[in-house]
């Protein structure tokens, strides 16, 4: 039995992660904008002692709304409401660095961290589609490396803003009429290639100092950005060997930024299709596949590959694809899907079926014990520090995981039986960041 514990995040997505989940009788697609539905999901995840829940987001309507439950709540708004009905579980929201400004983002996450008592996390994305760009006045999507250049400066400015208040700046001295020590509230006076920001932030420093910083890109730019800034990475690999290679590669980049392996947690996504028997699990997987709408899957695949596949025969092969270097969207997902199709000799219909549950993340159907075995293998064999759990259908898929898989992981000594910390950083075993501006000021006056 190992004393090392791993981490579990619940990735919540409307009716579930399978693109046909909304058609299955175990789901509730009519509740996509029902606050109580997401509150129930968050409480289920907290009952399982999971580290966090996570909401993806994009700044355009993804996919074909005719064929799936698309759209819904803005994540920071929703997570503030979830904070009110939970007490321990972390709350992670996706926010783009390409179509936001650092001051807005710093203010919103500092607010969520205060509201939740230190449970906020930021999934940092650069946005991957031209449709998002066109919602912000651009004809084309900014180039991939340029988006990452902006993202690096964006994070630098945002963290400076979180540091613009020292922890003890508010003194609340009623007798002297002093609320805050003005010497401990500083302008940041940032002037860079992308941003000019005076500061200070108009929110006091939050319980965690910074929210947990999460990243999900696996391209070369994405991995280098993660090595420099991220504290948790949501990633997608199909095989243990691929997971091990990604894990080793990313961890090996940390020393150049003065970081240790434990400073960054790698959480591959997995879509667990759970049944009381293996046959029951595969039957559920087959039910979901049979409910898929080919037009929807083909459109999703076209977006992933950057190639228009409409009109091609479903039982035919993929056409010739561009090189990854020519992709301006999600480069790592393009490569994963292209390699999956090539390795397993999949035609379009088969590829759509394989991607239906996880959009490139690993899908595994089995009993709770078999699911636990898979997670333990990746964890102990150097492919993961934990997992981004993507239930194929909701709410039942999350309930099945919490009620049947988590107890097995707990019995094996792999996962907590009770929360030992109150903040998201404490759940992930990560320190509270020191205030860089305060340290610089002390050094200047030493």
Residues 152-204 have pLDDT tens digits of: 999 999 999 999 999 999 999 999 999 999 999 999 999 999 999 999 999 99
* Residues 22, 83 share a domain: yes
* Residues 413, 314 share a domain: no
Q: Which residues pair with 190 in a beta bridge?
A: 197
Residues 13-26: tens digit of each pLDDT:
999 999 999 999 99
Rounded CA separation 131/128 (Å): 9
What range does the domain containing 136 cover? 7-272+361-445
Residue 246 falls inside a structural domain: yes
* Residues 130, 71 share a domain: yes
What are the two backbone dihedrals, phi and then psi, of residue 217, each rounded to the nearest 5 degrees? -90, 140
**Res 446: pLDDT:** 65
Residue 137 falls inside a structural domain: yes
Q: What average pLDDT score do residues 360-382 get?
A: 96
> Residue 3 — very low, low, confident or very high, per pLDDT cuts 50/70/90?
low
* Residues 243, 153 share a domain: yes
Nearest-10 Cα torsion for 162, 163, 167, 171: -90
* Residues 116, 21 share a domain: yes
What total number of domains does the chain contain?
2
Q: Which two tokens stand for residue 407?
A: 């107890």
CATH of the domain at 84: 3.20.20.30
Q: What average pLDDT score do residues 296-311 get?
A: 82
Range in 3-7, 114-118, 288-292 the model is least confident about: 3-7
Share of the chain above pLDDT 90, in %: 75
Residue 341 falls inside a structural domain: yes
> Residue 1 — very low, low, confident or very high, per pLDDT cuts 50/70/90?
very low
Distances in whole angstroms, Cα of residue 92 to Cα of each of 83, 191, 388: 11, 29, 12
* Residues 310, 201 share a domain: no
Rounded CA separation 426/433 (Å): 12
Residue 287 falls inside a structural domain: no
How large is the angle between the packed helices 220-229 and 240-252, nearest 10 degrees? 50
* Residues 434, 404 share a domain: yes
Is the pLDDT reported for residue 400 higher than 70? yes
Is the pLDDT reported for residue 277 higher than 50? yes
**Eight-state DSSP code of residue 404:** I
Is the pLDDT reported for residue 348 higher than 90? no
- End-of-domain residue from the set 314, 338, 355: 355
Share of the chain above pLDDT 70, in %: 97
- End-of-domain residue from the set 301, 336, 355: 355
Rounded CA separation 255/307 (Å): 38
**Residue 158, exposed/middle/buried by CB under 10 A (0-12, 13-18, 19+)?**
buried
* Residues 116, 95 share a domain: yes
Rounded CA separation 249/101 (Å): 31
**Res 62: pLDDT:** 77
- End-of-domain residue from the set 315, 331, 355: 355
* Residues 150, 24 share a domain: yes
Residue 2 falls inside a structural domain: no
Q: What average pLDDT score do residues 424-429 get?
A: 97
Evaluated on CA atoms 28, 31, 36, 40, the torsion sign reads positive
> Residue 39 — very low, low, confident or very high, per pLDDT cuts 50/70/90?
very high
Q: Which two tokens stand for residue 47?
A: 């009952």
> Residue 147 — very low, low, confident or very high, per pLDDT cuts 50/70/90?
very high
Evaluated on CA atoms 275, 281, 283, 287, the torsion sign reads positive
Nearest alpha carbon to residue 247 among 64, 75, 381? 381
CB atoms within 10 A of CB 280: 15
How large is the angle between the packed helices 348-355 and 294-305, nearest 10 degrees? 90
Rounded CA separation 225/203 (Å): 27
Residue 397 falls inside a structural domain: yes
Q: Which two tokens stand for residue 224?
A: 């280098």
* Residues 159, 45 share a domain: yes
Q: Which two tokens stand for residue 107?
A: 């203010």
Q: What average pLDDT score do residues 86-97 get?
A: 98
Residue 377 falls inside a structural domain: yes
Rounded CA separation 360/391 (Å): 14
Is the pLDDT reported for residue 393 higher than 70? yes
Residue that wins the pLDDT comparison between 119 and 360: 119
Rounded to the nearest integer, the mean pLDDT of the chain is 93
Q: What is the helix (H) or strand (E) element at residue 295, kind and residue range?
A: helix 294-305
Q: What is the helix (H) or strand (E) element at residue 294, kind and residue range?
A: helix 294-305
* Residues 71, 95 share a domain: yes
* Residues 434, 414 share a domain: yes
Q: How open is the CA angle 325-329-330, to the nearest 5 degrees?
A: 85
The number of C-alpha atoms within 13 Å of 364 and in the hemisphere containing its C-beta is 22
Nearest alpha carbon to residue 67 among 225, 292, 224? 292
Is the pLDDT reported for residue 332 higher than 60? yes
DSSP secondary structure string for all residues of 60-76: S--S-TTSS------HH
In the three-class reduction of DSSP (H, G, I as helix; E, B as strand; rest coil), residue 284 is classed as helix
**Res 389: pLDDT:** 98
Residues 6+ apart with CB under 8 A from 156: 190, 192
């Amino acid at each position: 039995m190992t004393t090392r514990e791993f981490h579990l995040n619940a990735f919540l997505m409307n009716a579930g992660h399978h693109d046909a989940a909304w058609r299955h009788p175990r789901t509730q697609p009519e509740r996509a904008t029902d606050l109580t539905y997401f509150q129930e999901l968050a409480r289920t995840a907290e009952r399982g002692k999971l580290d966090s829940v996570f909401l993806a987001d994009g700044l355009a309507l993804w996919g074909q709304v005719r064929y799936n439950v698309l759209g819904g709540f803005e994540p920071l708004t929703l997570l503030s409401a979830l904070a009110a009905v939970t007490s321990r579980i972390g709350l992670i929201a996706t926010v783009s660095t390409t179509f936001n400004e650092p001051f807005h983002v710093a203010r919103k996450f500092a607010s969520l961290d205060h509201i939740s008592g230190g449970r906020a996390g930021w999934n940092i994305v650069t946005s991957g589609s031209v449709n998002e760009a066109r919602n912000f006045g651009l004809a084309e999507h900014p180039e991939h490396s340029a988006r990452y250049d902006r993202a690096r400066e964006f994070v630098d400015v945002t963290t400076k803003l979180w540091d613009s208040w020292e922890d003890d700046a508010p003194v609340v001295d009623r007798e002297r009429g002093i609320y805050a020590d003005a010497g401990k509230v500083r302008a940041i006076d940032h002037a860079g290639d992308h941003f000019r920001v005076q500061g200070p932030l108009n929110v006091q420093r939050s319980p965690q100092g910074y929210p947990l910083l999460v990243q999900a890109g696996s391209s070369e730019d994405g991995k280098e950005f993660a090595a420099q800034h991220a504290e948790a990475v949501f990633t997608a690999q199909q095989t243990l060997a691929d997971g091990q290679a990604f894990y080793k590669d990313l961890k090996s980049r940390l020393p150049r930024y003065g970081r240790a392996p434990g400073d960054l947690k790698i959480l591959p996504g997995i879509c667990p299709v759970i049944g009381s028997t293996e046959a029951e699990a595969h039957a559920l997987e087959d039910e979901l596949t049979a409910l898929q709408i080919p037009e929807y899957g083909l459109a999703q695949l076209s977006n992933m590959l950057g190639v228009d596949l409409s009109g091609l025969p479903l039982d035919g092969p993929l056409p010739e694809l561009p090189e990854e270097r020519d992709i301006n969207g999600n480069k790592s997902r393009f490569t994963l899907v292209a390699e999956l199709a090539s390795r397993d000799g999949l035609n379009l219909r088969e590829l759509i079926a394989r991607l239906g549950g996880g959009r490139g993340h690993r899908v595994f159907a089995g009993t709770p014990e078999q699911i636990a075995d898979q997670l333990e293998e990746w964890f102990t064999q150097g492919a993961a520090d934990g997992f981004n759990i993507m239930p194929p259908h909701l709410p039942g898929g999350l309930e099945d995981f919490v009620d049947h898989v988590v107890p097995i992981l707990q019995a094996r000594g792999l996962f907590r039986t009770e929360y030992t910390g109150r903040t998201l950083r404490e759940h992930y075993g990560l320190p509270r960041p020191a205030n860089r501006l305060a340290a610089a000021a002390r050094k200047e006056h030493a």
